[in-house]
Every structure is written in C-alpha cells, then in structure tokens.
A and B are shown apart, each in its own frame.
Chain A
Amino acid sequence: MSSHAATATQPNLDRVQQVGLGAFGAGLALCLFGLMSNPDQVMRSYLTGFLLTVGLPLGSLVLLMVHHLVGGQWGMVMRRILEASTRTLPLVAVMFIPVLLSLPVLYKWARPEVVATDKILQAKALYLNVPFFIGRTVFYFVVWGLFVYALNRLTTKQDAGDTDAKRRLNNISGPGIVVFALTVTFAVIDWAMSLDPHWFSTIFGVIFMVGQALSTLSLVVICLAILMEHAPMKGLVRPNHFHDIGNLMLAFTMLWAYTSFSQFLIIWSGNLPEEIPWFIHRLHGGWGVIAGMLIVFHWALPFILLLMRFNKRKAGMLSKIAILILVIRLIDLTWIVQPNFNPDHFSLHWLDLAAPMALIGLWLAFFARQLKARPLEPTEIDRLAASAGHH
C-alpha cells in the first residue's frame, strides 16, 4: 500500500512531456500560420487530429472497464496507464470547442443554404441540426466524464485499502461498457459520418471503436517500453505482458480488417446510389493509393509481424509495431475525413500533419503529467490477482 514509493522519479516522463509540448508548440505555430492563408483547411485537418486524439482516452476507458470486468494479467501493468489516459478527457473535451465554433465549415448540414435545397438533409434536420449536435456532444462528454471520475476515484479508494472497491469497479464496468458503446457509436455518427450527411453505414461505430482500442493498445506498449527502464515498473513488466498485449493488438488488427472489409464488400456489392459514392471518392486517384496503403500497413504488415511470437515478446520490436499502427491510424482517419472536402481529386495539405501533431503533442504532455500525478506501480489487488492467477 505504499503510494509514496510511486513518486519515484521518472525522468523519461519529463522528456515525454517536453517532447509533447515541443510538438504542440510547433504544430500550433504552423496552424496559426495556416489560419492566415487557409482557415478552412486548418479546421479540416484539426478534425482528423481530434478524432485520433479522442480515441486514446475513449479506448483507455473501455479497455479499463473490460479489465475490471474480466480480469487478466495484462490489466496489472496497463491499469495505471489507462487510468492516466482517461483523466485527459477534460482536455479532449476542451479540444472539441474549435470544432463546435466552425460547424458550418466542416458540416454541410450546418449550412442553412445547403439544407434549403436538399430534401434528404431536410428529412434529417430533426437529428442533424446545430443545437442538438452541440447538446449531444456535451452529453457524451458528461457521460464519459462520470465514468472516468467514478473509476479513478474507486482506484484511489482501493489504494487507500478499501476492499469493497473491486466489487464496485466490477459493478460499474458492465453497464459502463454498454453505455460506452452506444455513446461512442453516436459520437462518431455525429463527428465523422455526418461529414457526408447523405451516407450511412451501420457498422461505422464499431469500426471506430476497434480503431480506438488499437491506438490505445499501441500507446500502452510504447508507455510500458519507456516506463520499464525505471522503478517502480523496472523488473515488473515481463515479456509475457508484452506478449499478451501483442496478442490483443493482433486481435484488434484483425477485427479492424474484418469490420472495414465487411463494410466495403456489402456497400460495393449493393452498389446503391446513396451508399456507393463514399467509396467511389475514396477508391480513386490518390485516395485509392491511400486505401491500398491501408490494406498493407493497417492490416497485412502488422498482422504478419504480430503473428510471430518473438516480435511480441520484445519491448523494442513491439513498440516499433505500435508506432507503425499509430501512424497508420492517423492515415486511416485522414482517409475517412479528408475526401469529404475533396471528393473528386486527391489533396493532402501540410496542415493534415501539423494540426494532428499539435493536438497529439498537447495530449501527450497532459497525459505524462497525469501519469506522474498518481502511483505507477500496480495496485496491490491486481498484483495479488496476477500472482494467484499465474499458471
């Protein structure tokens, strides 16, 4: 129960914080520069960055709840990292404000002159309108925030020796996952799917949730590789842990391919005028090249690498795969978001890199601060559970 030992210095975290702030500073400067020349593009690229960033605390929240529900050794070393990541949610909520301030720039349904001439948008206006959109987003963040607060608070209690906390964490997590799945589904309908307000796909929310879990697992691997060099994680994180997380990454890589391919195959073979344009825009010209890249780098390469046992047991190798996955996640989100604005021709802007860099940089700095704020060593109870369950 020694939460004091946790304040052991973590020089690496200071470095992460500095790098994050540096990236944020550089990205911000570029974005400000971009605002003068092409303000619309700043917001478009900003949205991609936001969708990547928001996936980290959300993916952490759901993995944390899954851990509380089903246990498993992987949770022991991941829990503190996931908790710190969920505590960045207020920052991510603030990050959404610029999007709210520029809805007409991003979303066609927020432009009255477009809606006036579009029968389909008029039919959807009950759902796709500015006040309701803002209200929903606020609602999502409040709901997620309540779960983040409750889970973190119970961990603090558990550290202080509350033996009942485990049961309560378990009780919250079951309904929590259900609420999470529904709210995230609607959040991505709002934030990402409604960029093309005519288009719809029922599996879209699942694809995003899988992507979020994948980015989160990659983040955790990189964090563990950094943290394992110093106390209290030194000697605690073993190849087995990386192996387990690597297996989870493999599973989510396959799930991503499975859900994405299902969406493609069903829409492609149906070839209906209300559905197929989304893929036509994304499979031709330069966007088609990106789509091919996604098949290779989001599925084939990580799949093959993660299939091999020795790649999963070494921190260095697994973190390289994790970085690959995080980069390809950004490309995937860019491929989903940007063709909405340039459906007929391929167009990548330097801001597509600068804006996500600013957001991820700020997030990293904040995340490192959260990691330092609380104990890093696993809770007593997780440690015992891991040693009891070891066989």
Chain B
Amino acid sequence: MDKELVQKPIAVGIAQDPVIGPGHDYTTVTDKISELVLTTKIHKEWVIGFLFSASLASLLGVAMYFLLFKGIGVWAPNVPVGWGFDIINFVWWIGIGHAGTLISAILLLLKQEWRTSINRFAEAMTLFAVACAGMYPLMHTGRPWLAYWMLPYPNTMGMWPQPRSPLLWDVFAVSTYATVSALFWFVGLIPDLATLRDKAKHTVSRYIFGALSMGWRGSADHWQRYEMAYLLLAGLSTPLVVSVHTIVSFDFAIGIIPGWHTTIFPPYFVAGAIFAGFAMVLTLAIPMRAFYKLEDFITMHHIENMCKVMLATGIIVVYGYFLEVFFGWYSANEYEKAVIMNRFTGPYAWSYWALIFCNGLAPQILWWKKYRRNLLLVWIISNIVSVGMWLERWVIIVVSLHRDFIPASWGYYTPTIFDEAFFAGTIGLFLTLMFLFVRLLPSIAMFEMKLLVPAAKARPESEGGH
C-alpha cells in the first residue's frame, strides 16, 4: 500500500514499511480501535463466523458427553499406541500458544516496536489455545472432577503424584503458564479498558468496563507502576514460555522409546512451538486485518517480520529432523535405525513425507520478499505449517509407538469418531473465543499504538535503556 508515503529520515537500511500507517494521531488510533468494540452494529459476516464456530464448539460438548458417560475407551489409544489424539492435540495447542508470549514478552524485552499492534491479539490467542490444550489432559483422566489429585497435597489416601514424571512437571508448568499469561494479558488491557469506560455510551458497558479497569485514572503514578509491573511480568513470562515446551518435550525425551529419547528435543520443541504459533497468528491476523480494515495498524512490516520468524524457527525444526535422521544412523543402534526407516517407508510414511513438505519445503518460499508480501500465499503457507506441526506430533507419537520392540505387539492406530469430534470441538472453542474477543475487547493495544504515532516520537529522547 502507501509505499510512497513512507518517510525515512536517513536512507540507512533496506527500505521497510512503517509499523503504523501514515496520518494517524492519538485520536484516530483510539477511535479506529475502540469503534470495533463500542459500535452497536453487528456485521453479518461476524454472526455467520461466530455461529459456525459455536456449533463446532458444541461438538466438543457432545464428544465430552460420550467420553464421560462411556469412559475413555471411546478414544482410540490402546496397546501399543497408548497416546494418540489426546497428547498430539495437547502439544499442538500448547505450541500455538507460545507465539503470543514470545510476541508480548520476549519482543518487548528486545525492544522490538513492531510487536505492538499484534501483541494483544496474540496474547488472547495464547490464552484460548492453552484453554483448548488443557481440555485434553483434563478429559483424559476420565474423571475431570478429580483433577486436583494431580496436585501434591497431604490427603487421607496417602497418595502423592510421582515427582519423577514429566507429566507432573507439565501440571505445574502449564498451570503457571496459563496463570501468568492471563495476568499479563489482563494487566495489558487495563489502560484500554479505562479508555473504553470513558468512551462507552451505554450505561451497562460503562459499568462493565469501569469495573474491569479497576479504577484506572491514568495518573503518572499509575503509569509508573503499570510500566514496572508490565516489565516484570514480561521478565517472568520469558523463562516460562521456554520451560513449558521444554517440559512438554521431556514428556517424550525422558522416556527411552526410540524416536522420543533424543537430547535435541527441548530446543527443537520450543522452536516448533514458536513456528506453529506464528503460523496461527498469521492465519488469524490476515483475515481480521482485511475484514476490519486494520491495514494501518497491522502493516506489511508486521506480516513480513512474522514470516521471517516463521522461516527461522521452521529451519531450526528442520535442523532437528535432519539430526534425528543422521543420528538414527550414527547411533549404530538397530532400534534407532528401525524407527527412522519406519518413518521413511513404514505404514505411516505418508505422514512423514507430508510433514517434510509442510514444515521443510513449503516455508522456504518465504526467503523471498516478493512472496512474503503476497498475503494470500502467506496465509496458505501458514495453514500448511499448522498442518505440518500437527503432523510432526503425529509422527513423533504414533509412528514411534505403533511398532513396539516385539513385532508380535505391533499395531496400527486410527482415531475414532470421538477423537475427531473432540479435536474439531476444540478448534470450534478456540474460534468462538477469538470471535468473542475481537467483538468485546480492543484487539489492538490502543495506548501502545499511540506511542508509535509521529506526535509521540517527537518527544525528547530519554537516555538509557531498561
């Protein structure tokens, strides 16, 4: 778009798009973003999308009904594939969540100002993805009302969870992550909620936003404490985001199943999570940006940068695949070799080669600027990556398990209709929450965007970083 209007004080770098479109000031930013929430108009397209997602989400209810009343036998996992859709989708969802924290916390600490317009939205995505992820272990217990048994607390049963099990570490890691992400998101919302309170015309919405904004008046004291709290939460989130997927990778690597037990798993899982997360942010941001005409806020600069992060993390993931294959041979261990050969040529070979296409080959097109700026293509690649990251977990979990050490216990795993319904249901839940979010809360941080308008930039420079 508006390339000719881009102002560059000194032609030092390679020309880049601005992080905010031209001609914006404090008022236009507030008006444009708050209008999406405060308007009484309901778009037809929004209603259709919402109803579609909500009906998918209701499928989750049906799937849960069968699961709880018939027992977890309605799911497919059985010997030798003891883990199936439940853990694949758990890891897939939790991975998607990681981009949100990376954008809001790590990019904040790295002083990357392009994060500003996408952070709120990505954080919401994190929360909803973690909620979907949490469904799986919770429901896999078969008796979710006894889920608190997973916590170590003194009880009359004399029962303690096994502290050596990474699954227990997951309980702590994921619940901490969910808590801190929710806090981070809510704290970030407070100044904007106050803006909405002040601008809202309906008494009811004034009361709701007023209660949520927790008495924010925007005084210098408020801002000073706010900035400190936000920075501390960012610092807390950064190790958390790494720890969650590291521990998820330990769920596999700590065991001794060939195909699971490999030391590269922690960094490779973290990179994969960010890869999948950015793909999901792009998948959601591109249509939203077009529908709500947010091109001035989510500019090509954002799209391109997200593509670059996706490309880089994708290459790290491929590095992991490559090392797995090389060490499968180099280990000179027949089981390690058998796992690799089984991936290449076994009954599930289709999934391995599809994975290589989705995560290895397809994203390579993003090396070229021309294609990074082609929104339709980027959107398609993002979807391919989401599929690829799902396949990755499928390959790791199902393909490693279905051929046990003893050929007599080999098997073939196929998900049941209940597995599939549950998965479709969580996608529905995720999309429903996203639809509600863009309608009910400001999906772009207004007060942070205001720091990017030219008037804010004109303030005197402050010396020193954080």
Contacts and interface: CB of A to CB of B under 8 A. Distances in A.
Given A166-B14, A262-B246, A185 B323 contact: yes
Interface in B217-262: 242, 246, 250, 253-256, 261-262
A179 to B, nearest CB: 11
A381 interface: yes
Contacts of B261: 266, 270, 272
Given A120-B332, A266-B253, A206 B267 contact: yes
Contacts of A189: 330
Given A123-B332, A262-B263, A202 B461 contact: no
B367 interface: yes
A182 B14 contact: no
A113 interface: no
Interface stretch (A18-26, A132-140, A281-289, A382-390): A382-390
B263 A263 contact: yes
Contacts of A120: 332
B10 A262 contact: no
Contact of A388 (B12, B324, B464): B12
Q: Is the interface of A mostly helix, strand, loop or mixed?
A: helix
A379 to B, nearest CB: 11
For chain A, the bracket of interface size reads: 35 or more
Contacts of B264: 202-203, 206
B331 A274 contact: yes
A170 B14 contact: yes
A202 B81 CA distance: 25
Given A120-B332, A166-B13, A202 B323 contact: yes
A72 to B, nearest CB: 9
A120 B336 CA distance: 13
A314 to B, nearest CB: 14
A266 B254 contact: yes
Which of B13, B253, B267, B332 counts the most A-chain CB atoms under 10 A from its CB?
A: B332
B331 A200 contact: yes
Given A206-B264, A391-B461, A381 B12 contact: yes
Given A202-B327, A388-B9, A267 B332 contact: no
B242 A258 contact: yes
A243 B263 contact: no
B100 interface: no
A262 B247 CA distance: 10
A124 B12 contact: no
A174 interface: yes
Nearest to A210: B267
Given A174-B367, A202-B324, A388-B12, A274 B333 contact: yes
Given A178-B315, A270-B254, A167 B266 contact: no
Interface in A218-264: 240, 243-244, 258-259, 262-263
Contacts of A391: 457, 461
Interface string B160-173: 00001000000000
Contacts, number: 87
B275 interface: no
A265 interface: yes
Contacts of B85: none
**Size range of the interface on B?**
35 or more
Contacts of B291: none
Contacts of A185: 319, 323
A263 B265 CA distance: 9
Contacts of B464: 240
A117 interface: no
B263 A202 contact: yes
Contacts of B267: 203, 206, 258-259, 262
A37 interface: no
B154 interface: no
Contacts of B255: 270
Contacts of A269: 164, 254
B330 A127 contact: yes
A71 interface: yes
A367 to B, nearest CB: 29
Nearest to A170: B14
B158 interface: no
B465 interface: yes
B370 to A, nearest CB: 14
A202 to B, nearest CB: 4
A278 B246 CA distance: 23
Contacts of A182: 319, 322
A185 B331 CA distance: 16
Contact of A384 (B12, B164, B265, B465): B12
Nearest to B164: A269
23 contacts: A124-B330, A127-B330, A174-B367, A185-B323, A189-B330, A202-B262, A202-B264, A202-B323, A202-B324, A205-B323, A206-B264, A244-B465, A258-B246, A258-B266, A262-B266, A265-B254, A267-B263, A269-B164, A270-B256, A274-B333, A384-B10, A385-B13, A388-B9
Interface of A: 71, 120, 123-124, 127, 166-167, 170, 174, 178, 181-182, 185, 189, 200-206, 240, 243-244, 258-259, 262-263, 265-267, 269-272, 274, 381, 384-385, 388, 390-391
Which A-B residue pairs are the 4 nearest by beta carbons? A202-B264, A123-B332, A203-B263, A262-B266
